Structure 1
Amino acid sequence: MGKIREPNKGKKIIGIGSRRIVYDLGNGNVKKVAKTKYGVLSNRREIVTYRSSAPSVRKHLAKIIESGDEYKWITMIRYNREFPKTKEYHQKLYRLWGKFRKNGITPYEILTRQGRPNYQNMRLKQNGEIVVIDYGNFRFRGKKG
């Protein structure tokens, strides 16, 4: 993918996956930069899912501010509040999973294969709502019926 670190020099890396690097821009936002063609696909999938989702679902997806260079990077709001390890929030997450499904989204990686929350992909907004910060593996089909 070339020199991905150069334009982000001096920015703090807060996450490294097999497909993307996440930088803290220091202004309340993060920048996800693709490392591979699959990272570009993940960025594109997040943009399409975010823009195509109903508002009732979109509010649970990390807000995308901008993107560029043919999906090689996207800027999103940074959410810092950790997802609580409580029964109440587990139940809220299961309901959210169903809401995604009902709205034509297969929400991969918010639950583990054992059905437990995937804590690294979720945070809370200031109002306590669950927000998914990594939805690059979601599948968007559109609403049924």
Structure 2
Amino acid sequence: MKLAQSVLSLPYEMIGHGFNRIVYNLANGYVLKIALSDIGLLSNYREFELFHNSDLNIRQYLCPVLEAGEGWVVMQKIDRKVPMRMRNVRSLSDLTMKFLMNRIVPVDLRLGNVAFTHDHQMVVIDYGLFIKV
């Protein structure tokens, strides 16, 4: 990750990373996710495809994806973290069921991968490992 960050040398603040992607704040209400591996490439592709090809009843629970290209995806920046509270765990469980009922397996759906919108709706900000069946 450190090597990729230095090689990319982007003029944006890095606000997160995992094993497969780096996330930059574009400072315009959006984030840029850059793939670091094949799984990162697949995650970017899945986020773009799932958001743009889902029904509105599911899309409302996904962080909006603006655009994507080879190895990158631009998404809306939603950074209101979801605290560990019983009602939030229940909401996460309800959200899991909504995805499953719509034939989407929400792999890696956890509190760390969701955020609250300004109207306090829980949305998934990292759904690159979700599988549509």
Unaligned 5+ segments in structure 1 are: 111-117
Residue in 2 that maps onto 1:62: 63
Letter in 2 for 1:95: D
Identify if the C-alpha distance between structure 1 residues 48 and 8 changes in structure 2 by more than 3 Å, giving closer, same or farther. Answer: farther
Partner of 2:76: 77
CA distance in 2, matches of 1:12, 1:52: 30
Alignment of 1:1-145 (within 5 A): 9-68=10-69, 70=70, 72-110=71-109, 118-141=110-133
CA distance in 2, matches of 1:77, 1:8: 22
Q: Which amino acid aligns with 2:84?
A: K
Provide closer, same or farther for how the CA distance between residues 8 and 104 of structure 1 changes in structure 2, counting only shifts above 3 A.
farther
Q: Name the CA shift for 1:125/1:8 in 2 (closer, same or farther; >3 Å).
A: farther
Moved over 2 A (4+): 3-8
CA distance in 2, matches of 1:83, 1:107: 17
Q: CA RMSD in A?
A: 1.6
Q: Which amino acid aligns with 1:125?
A: T
Secondary structure of 1:76 counterpart = strand
Give the whole-Å Cα distance in 1 for the aligned partners of 2:9 and 2:126: 20
1:12-68 per-residue CA deviation (whole Å, 9 max, x = no partner) reads: 011121111100011111000111222111111111111221111111111001112
1:132 and 1:90 map into 2 onto residues whose CA distance is: 14
- TM-score for the superposition, normalised by structure 1: 0.83
Q: Do the aligned residues in 2 keep the contact of 1:4 with 1:33 (CA within 8 Å)?
A: no
- Name the aligned partner's letter for residue 76 of structure 1: M
Residues 1:66 and 1:6: Cα distance change in structure 2 (over 3 Å): farther
**Which letter maps to 1:131?**
V
Q: Percent identity?
A: 34
Structure 2 gaps, min length 5: none
Amino acid at match of 2:16: G
How many pairs align?
130
User: What is the Cα deviation at residue 8 of structure 1?
Assistant: 5.7
